Structure 1
Amino acid sequence: MENLGLNLIITKIGGIMILHLRPSPIAASMYQLRDVGADAIILHGPSGCSFRTARLLELDGVRVFTTGMDENDFIFGGSEKLDYTVKYVIDYLKRNNKKKKYIIGIVGTCPSMIIGEDLHLPCKKYSDDSVIIVPVEVHSGMGDNTIGAIKAMEACLRAGLIDEKEFERQKYILQKATEVERKRGMAKNKYLKPTNEDDLEKVIEVFKNLKKGVRVLCVLNAKKETGYLFAHPLIEINRYMERRGIEVINIANLDPNVGLKKIREDAKNILREYRKRKINIDYITGGLDEYPITGEKVVDIVKKVGGDLVVVSGVPHAVPIEEVSKGRITVGISDGPRLYYPIKEMYHYSIIELDAHAKVLGRRTLVKSRFGEVLRFISND
């Protein structure tokens, strides 16, 4: 293994050497800063670092800047560039936004952390009643992406943006998210082959053959803003079943009183989308950031209410569906070409919505899904 030259693409997760690319702790820390309401994020590193994440976050209204470190800075340090960038960002925000207080995250990258750059210096120099600076010491070699999210929460706790109780809750659910991926998701095997396969056509046939008297359970177990898309197939299932006189029970992790600022707002927005269509949520399992721990609640509800068909949309592998799959049909809907096979191991059918995360950023209303659109089309025949 040492002679293969694969060090740059191998991540050790839970004792397993993962040979496919995994999300970065840097990106995870940036998303957490967005969720607490950061106005801007400064990446202290090269201009290309976390480029895609930065561009996507800008769709959500977060201004992302880079100090643009180069080879010279790797040797002599980039503190002057960081200082200049912080001053520029503060001036930019005050010129372009009329707010009483601004939150600016400073996020480390591999080179700035390797050479030991001090991200805290700007806090001492520029923080005041109108500016809160949140330095997050993170790099891509830390392991699980959730480590970066926890580091961001630690920084927010120090900055007074969250309290100890919320920090402990965040830490717990982030650790559980890692556990889900290690045991049941994209970190369970050394290499997961991407595929364009899914069972959409088979599921459509199942729906066509349903008769009156069956009970369908629609479960939203979505991760944060992806709920804008993963709620859509469930809403279309409600519409389809209503036209056929088939009973539907709706279960969702849409508690609007749980989570960081943006998480609560997203939950309210998605609930509004259900209400617009006169669809009632029968059971609320938790908040949009609690998808790793709401699976057991879903199983308990299924045991209680029964049902002949269970559709779980969002992060279906976080639901131990195998405990209730006997005697009923199960369908998992998720994102990413590497998740088809892990979901297929647990559910009778697996449907993949590609690029779900990219489609929902910047959105505050429902985003149409591939499965939902197909279902609507056939229901109009």
Structure 2
Amino acid sequence: MPSRFMHPRPSSIVAALYTARDLEVDVAILHGPSGCSFKHARLLEEDGMRVLTTALADNEFIFGGQKALEGVLRYAGEQFAPKRMAVIGTCVSMIIGEDLEAAIDSAGIATPTIAVDIHAGFTENIAGVLATLEAAAEAGWISADELARQHRLMEKANEVEKLRGAASREYLEPSRGDLKHLAAERLIACARSGSKGVAVLNAKKETAYMFADELIALHDTCPDADITYLVNLDNRGLPKVRADAERIREEMERRGVRFELIGALDEYGANGDALGARIREIAPSFALIAGVPHAIPPEYTDGIECFSVTNGPRQVAPLKAIGHQHVLVEIDLHPRTLGVRDIVESEFGAVIRSLAR
């Protein structure tokens, strides 16, 4: 496994922002330059969380920005009346040694607010997740048991990425994957041949709003096929994660898909062996796996014709390397699943439906 990556990797600052969102934080304040994590901050605002910035300029890089942070905290409290806020650190606030807690205390606000000391220099982006959760546990927002559970899940997710994911090589060439219409034709042929199949949703949090559509599309097109549906939509996790799982479960049921629950939306990295064991029991000849297919160790899919759907262009090569014959990429999936409350049609799902005869 590489010690240094030469392709872009997720940021721990962004991970902290998303974790604040999952904790139902109403306003997150990035203490740094206005351009820090700009794209994701804008996307998260579409998901209902306001993201403000202290917009530190070069003179504040030298003399400090505590007064600026106090002012933004007071503005947020007065303007938005939030129930919860989070101050997220950046590389700048770390380098100049800003005391985020002191600024919160000095601002004189009544809103429960956590301080997350984080920067983008960590090798693993899960540092941002854990820093946010540790601050939340200290504030009493989550239990000690949930914090310990999240630590285990992050360690497993990290392990999967290092073994079979985008952290498994120094450089991974991005790819759009296989042609969707050819894979869809083959998938439908397998389903209609009478062969036994399995369709797996093992998605990360809100991405399930689109990955679930691939399973629905297969069911819509081949409703009588011998396919067992397995989904990671159990009722565990942080508040938003549980709410998303409930909505997706209910919509899949309304649309006629009967499924088995294996794992929760935040357990995608730790879910591989449980899914693999169930796949081994079913003994299918083909499998559709949507979300994080590489979480399932390859010994469970050996000999099975796999149709794997990911939203990571750099995940194509690692999936091919472990024997997945058909690898499809849903480009721009994440921006299209932020802020939604209903299942979103996927490109591969649309192609499957277009081939129904």
TMscore range, shorter length: over 0.9
For residue 237 of structure 1, report the CA deviation from its aligned partner.
0.6
For residue 126 of structure 1, report the CA deviation from its aligned partner.
4.8
1:266 aligned to 2:244?
yes
Name the aligned partner's letter for residue 123 of structure 1. I
Choose from 329, 342, 354 the match for 2:331: 354
8 Å CA contact 2:32, 2:54 repeated in 1: yes
For residue 158 of structure 1, report the CA deviation from its aligned partner.
1.0
Name the aligned partner's letter for residue 315 of structure 1. V
For residue 215 of structure 1, report the CA deviation from its aligned partner.
1.6
Name the aligned partner's letter for residue 324 of structure 1. Y
8 Å CA contact 1:336, 1:355 repeated in 2: no
Q: How does 1:356-375 map to 2 (within 5 A)?
A: 356-375=333-352
Choose from 188, 198, 214 the match for 2:178: 198
For residue 327 of structure 1, report the CA deviation from its aligned partner.
3.5
Q: Which runs of 5+ in 1 are unaligned?
A: 1-13
Q: Look up the match of 1:246.
A: 225
For residue 279 of structure 1, report the CA deviation from its aligned partner.
1.1
- Aligned-pair RMSD on alpha carbons? 1.4
Choose from 140, 153, 169 the match for 2:149: 169
Choose from 132, 135, 155 the match for 2:115: 135
Q: Using the alignment, how far apart are the partners of 1:248 and 1:126 within structure 2? A: 58
Aligned-pair identity (%):
37
8 Å CA contact 1:312, 1:333 repeated in 2: yes
Q: State the secondary structure of the residue aligned to 1:161.
A: coil
Q: Look up the match of 1:277.
A: 255
8 Å CA contact 1:229, 1:360 repeated in 2: yes
Higher RCO (CA-CA < 8 Å; seq separation 6+):
2
Q: Look up the match of 1:255.
A: 234
Q: Look up the match of 1:185.
A: 165
Residues 38-67 of structure 1: CA deviation (Å, up to 9, x unaligned)? 000000000000101100100110000000
Residues 156-204 of structure 1: CA deviation (Å, up to 9, x unaligned)? 0111100100001111111211111111111111111112232423322
Q: Using the alignment, how far apart are the partners of 2:108 and 2:284 within structure 1? A: 56
Count the aligned residue pairs.
355
Q: Look up the match of 1:7.
A: none
Q: Using the alignment, how far apart are the partners of 1:212 and 1:140 within structure 2? A: 50
8 Å CA contact 2:185, 2:355 repeated in 1: no
Name the aligned partner's letter for residue 110 of structure 1. C
8 Å CA contact 1:36, 1:260 repeated in 2: yes
Q: Look up the match of 2:307.
A: 331
For residue 71 of structure 1, report the CA deviation from its aligned partner.
0.5
Flag the 1:21–1:266 CA change in 2: closer, same or farther, 3 A. same
Q: Using the alignment, how far apart are the partners of 1:80 and 1:208 within structure 2? A: 61
| TM-score normalised per structure 1 | 0.90
Choose from 25, 45, 49 the match for 1:38: 25
For residue 212 of structure 1, report the CA deviation from its aligned partner.
4.2
8 Å CA contact 2:181, 2:352 repeated in 1: no
Name the aligned partner's letter for residue 157 of structure 1. A
8 Å CA contact 1:241, 1:248 repeated in 2: no
Q: State the secondary structure of the residue aligned to 2:84.
A: strand
Q: State the secondary structure of the residue aligned to 1:288.
A: coil
Q: Using the alignment, how far apart are the partners of 1:355 and 1:65 within structure 2? A: 24
